[in-house]
Structure 1
Amino acid sequence: MSANNSSCTPILTSCLTGIYGAVLIGGLVGVISILFLLVKMNTRSVTTTAVVNLVVVHSVFLLTVPFRLTYLIKQKWTFGLPFCKFVSAMLHIHMYLTFLFYLVILVIRYLIFFKRKDKVEFYRKLHAVAASAGLWLLVIVIMVPLIASQYGSLDVYDTDNCFNFHKELAWAYVRVINYLIVAVVIAIALILLVFQIFIIMSMVRKLRHSLLSHQEFWAQLKNLFFIGVIMVCFLPYQLFRIYYLYTVALSSDCNSDIAYYNEIFLSVTAISCFDLLLFVLGGSHWFKQKIIDLWNYLFCH
């Protein structure tokens, strides 16, 4: 049956505008910064390939942010409903693809740690290109038809108001899919956190004061950046999503407060674009020296 939720337009405030504005600026700076670093990285490395794809994901998403900002400022969508669906879906696609590439990077580094390998890499550069091309082809083949045919297609929406596709959640199978996605993401995030804590504690017990002289420690420290982004940017949205899905399912009318908070949590996922800046910072000599100084201060005084 069709959803009976009334039209719901979250309150548009400077908060959302500020978040997306910061994401656009920080994301662009991060993309530009990481390009200089990628030139020096091993192009056959699986980690490097994942980072390159991460740059592509962020770049494509950042292209849609100005349209969001325009809508937030003008409070009217003027680019047509099909493009609204694309921009709306892109925020979700960005979140889950970013999470996927984080997962790849972290799993590779965990394999390196547990199997005592120096690195995991493709046999040839062409294989890295083929793997990336295959992944993006899969995304295009699956996601584009889904967005075009299914996303925002279960009800009638106002063309002047964008990003209000909550009516889809009135359908039981849509909620089930969302619940499954939430459960999988939360479970994987917690598993990654447990693994990372175990690895860090193992290294601390084994190496102790010589910890900072080992390259593997710095690699694992970078992992904490990715774990931190997942916990700060992605996990709050997924946890709130459970409540949001439950509330929307029970309510016949729109709850503007719930819709607004959902938009806030969703916008926070876009802050993950700052990860490239953190990645660059984590590889800098200045950052390492600050960590060493802090370590010496804590354990040598």
Structure 2
Amino acid sequence: MFDNITNSTNCPDNEVISYVLTALYSFIFIGGVTGITLMSFLLFQSNTRSVTTTAVINLIVVHGIFLLTVPFRILYYIKNEWLLGDDFCKLVSAMIHVHLYLSFIFYVITLVIRYLIFFNRKDKLEFYRTLHAVVASVAVWVLVVVIIFPLFFKEYGRNGKYDSSKCFQFQDEFMKLGVQILNYITIAIILAVVFAFLCMQICIIVGIVRKLQGPVLAYQEFCAQMKSLFFILVMFFCFVPYHIFRIYYVQNVNDCKIVKYNDICLSLTAISCFDMWSFVLQSNYFKQSKCMSLKNKFVCCHF
């Protein structure tokens, strides 16, 4: 779960890797900020009592907090020198992991809600009042901010001795057996959950396609399941490769090349910030396209 570079003082800087990471994080920052900004405008026009909408709003908050730290990463990879102090280095370094796992949690919450809607044959789940949606969100964030954040930041990079001019180099943590076991448990949970959701979603979509007649894209039921599939694919392509590589990385933290590759794999998890573009593009598409006639029993998809 940690952003590390083993034996950091002995690992020479790799300019090519620095250029790649600079480009990746610049791309993520520009695309992520644009996506959550456009999505925020769309949410003003949506039903804020919807449980799914509430989960999406929380995802935007998670992405937004992480993106605030990305410019500092970009600056570091450009200069190859950290000038903002050890504590802030730990904060910026930890935030990409916090973003990864909080995003994962909200993806799972969103998918569970969608499955409840599907299996209970409901159009949507709503809070009785907007205040209830706010209270539910605040409860989740209080848990994160009051319990998880302090514990995470207290233990993060506590035992290492690092070059103060370098950052994101907390490899000594992997010398502890407890950290290795925690990583393996986390990897197993992430992979098991993602593949379970993927298998379930494929079965649901195949069943719907067999049942429906005509162009399936015109049916709200099918479109809703494609949205669920999108969330699963985001987890699959952004989170699964990193955690599979993590198994090898934990066993080879003394190899500088492996550490550099881990940095790249970790940066790819941040591409999940682009998830909001799915809703933005979908909304624009359906605004420009004509809905099928209701008398033909076709209904346009909507967020």
Does TM, normalized by the shorter one, top 0.5? Answer: yes
Shift of 1:284: 3.1
Q: Are residue 70 (structure 1) and residue 75 (structure 2) matched?
A: yes
| TM alignment of 1:1-301, pairs within 5 A | 7-8=10-11, 11=14, 12-248=17-253, 254-285=254-285
1:146-175 CA distance string (max 9 Å, x none): 244210002211111100111101100001
> What is the SS of the residue equivalent to 1:41?
coil
- What's the TM-score, normalizing by structure 1? 0.89
Q: What is the match of residue 298 of structure 1?
A: none
Letter in 2 for 1:38: L
> What is the SS of the residue equivalent to 1:175?
helix
> What is the SS of the residue equivalent to 1:284?
helix
Shift of 1:286: 5.4
Do the aligned residues in 2 keep the contact of 1:19 with 1:267 (CA within 8 Å)?
Answer: yes
Q: What is the match of residue 296 of structure 1?
A: none
> What is the SS of the residue equivalent to 2:252?
helix
Distance 2:287 2:231 in 1: 16
Q: 1:236 to 1:8 in 2, by over 3 A?
A: same
Shift of 1:6: 6.4
Distance 2:214 2:133 in 1: 38
Distance 1:190 1:208 in 2: 29
Identity %: 51
Shift of 1:5: 8.3
Do the aligned residues in 1 keep the contact of 2:208 with 2:222 (CA within 8 Å)?
Answer: yes
Letter in 1 for 2:279: F
Distance 1:15 1:143 in 2: 32
Shift of 1:213: 2.6
Do the aligned residues in 2 keep the contact of 1:7 with 1:164 (CA within 8 Å)?
Answer: no
Shift of 1:216: 1.7
- What's the TM-score, normalizing by structure 2? 0.89
Greater shift in the superposed pair: 15-24 or 114-123:
114-123
* Deviant stretches of 4+, over 3 Å: 3-10, 286-290
The alignment yields a C-alpha RMSD, in angstroms, of 2.0
Letter in 2 for 1:199: I
Letter in 1 for 2:196: I
1:247-283 CA distance string (max 9 Å, x none): 23xxxxx311100110010000011111111222133
